[in-house]
Amino acid sequence: MKWTPGGMSKDVEDRRGETGGGSGFGGGRLRLGLGGVLVVLVLSLIFRQNLFQFLETGGAPGIAPSGAPAAATPQEDTLSQFVSFVLDTAQATWARTLSARGVAYQEAHLVLFRDGIESACGFAETATGPFYCPADHKVYIDLGFYQELRDRFGASGDFAQAYVLAHEIGHHIQTLLGTEGMRGGRDNETSVRVELQADCYAGVWGYAANRARMLDAGDLEEGITAAAAVGDDRLQRMATGQVNPESFTHGTSAERTAWFQRGFDSGRIDSCDTFSGSVDIGR
């Protein structure tokens, strides 16, 4: 991607110098990231039970500051500036898009953390992966995840990294439009439709970034590779060598890439209706 390092967004909270306090959890529901989804999928298959249903949280949030700023390598500094850039461009895109629909955009915040952190949706560790918390309108990312994305999931490149953040911002758009609430009773098919719509929304931002001449040759392929890398079928096959469609929560690799591509090709939010009765998600 074409971007110029320098400066941090006002919507970025750098909390890499903090440690999560106690065992308290905030109200709401903890959204598992890519690493967390893999762990829970493995356990669900082993115990033949949908363990995602037990991931409700409740209680009081708390943060225990470490008292010292986080030490960051030059590579981390560059990466934090990059995700800050992606955040600002994504939010500018959605502010224009929602304004055209008569919806006022409310900015999300991006929280950078290490190891573990309290959120309004509960305590999260690095293994949880990036996640969006609808209770506080914040995206949480441990930048170390991007190395895992490259080394473990085989998705490298800056646009692969941008896709992950754009997907989480897609969940913020769902919260503003009321779609996130459709996740409701943790019905797996509904969860898949929510996740695929967030992939499509990531593609809508990609369309705008491409129109603004921010993309380089090969960037789209990086995004598609990242979407395919985190399909439920691929994650299950990596974990157990088997695939159990009944436990899918995010969609297959083919579905995730198709909906990301759909948003990228159209650039329209209306193309991301994964809830239409005519939409087949492979069930």
Residue 123 pLDDT greater than 80, yes or no: yes
In a domain, 4, yes or no: no
The one-character DSSP state at 216 is: P
Q: Which alpha helices (DSSP H) does the chain contain, by range?
A: 34-47, 74-99, 145-151, 158-177, 188-211, 219-229, 232-240, 253-266
In a domain, 126, yes or no: yes
In a domain, 197, yes or no: yes
In a domain, 240, yes or no: yes
Residue 48 pLDDT greater than 60, yes or no: no
Q: At 29, is the pLDDT very low, low, confident or very high (cuts 50, 70, 90)? A: very low
The pLDDT value given to residue 70: 58
User: Distance between CA atoms of 150 and 148, rounded to whole angstroms?
Assistant: 5
For 175-189, how does the pLDDT look when each residue is reduced to its tens digit (9 = 90+)?
999 987 665 555 888
Residue 129 pLDDT greater than 50, yes or no: yes
**CA-based nearest residue to 191, from 44, 32, 27:** 32
Residue 60 pLDDT greater than 80, yes or no: no
In terms of residue numbers, what domain contains 72? 12-272
Query: Is the pTM for the entire model greater than 0.85?
Result: no
In a domain, 277, yes or no: no
For 134-182, how does the pLDDT look when each residue is reduced to its tens digit (9 = 90+)?
999 999 999 999 999 999 889 999 999 999 999 999 999 999 999 876 6
In a domain, 207, yes or no: yes
Q: Is 235 exposed, middle or buried (0-12, 13-18, 19+ CB in 10 A)?
A: buried
- The domain total for the chain is 1
Task: Round the average pLDDT of the chain to a whole number and report it.
Answer: 83
Residue 87 pLDDT greater than 60, yes or no: yes
- Mean pLDDT value of segment 114-121: 93
Q: At 52, is the pLDDT very low, low, confident or very high (cuts 50, 70, 90)? A: very low
- Mean pLDDT value of segment 50-56: 47
The pLDDT value given to residue 59: 33
Residue 67 pLDDT greater than 80, yes or no: no
In a domain, 61, yes or no: yes
In a domain, 235, yes or no: yes
- Mean pLDDT value of segment 96-112: 96
The pLDDT value given to residue 208: 98
Q: At 6, is the pLDDT very low, low, confident or very high (cuts 50, 70, 90)? A: confident
Task: Identify any residues that bridge with 131 across adjacent strands, giving them in sequence order.
Answer: 140
On whether the CB atoms of residues 42 and 239 are closer than 8 A, the answer is yes
